[in-house]
Amino acid sequence: MREEYLDLLTPQGKPTGETKAKSAVHRDGDW
């Protein structure tokens, strides 16, 4: 199964221009 990648957001909900694996987003507590 392929990893899903998500766009990272600022706390205000604006895109940062970065993407990260969904599992890493949850692990690291990113937006």
Is a pLDDT exceeding 70 seen at residue 31?
A: no
Cα distances (Å, whole numbers) of residue 4 to 12, 22, 26: 23, 6, 12
Identify the DSSP state of 29. T
Its pTM stands at 0.68
Question: For residue 17, what pLDDT is reported?
Answer: 97
Amino acid at 21: A
Amino acid at 20: K
Question: For residue 1, what pLDDT is reported?
Answer: 84
Among 9, 3, 8, smallest CA distance to 23 is for 3
Domain range enclosing 21: 1-31
Structural domain total, the chain: 1
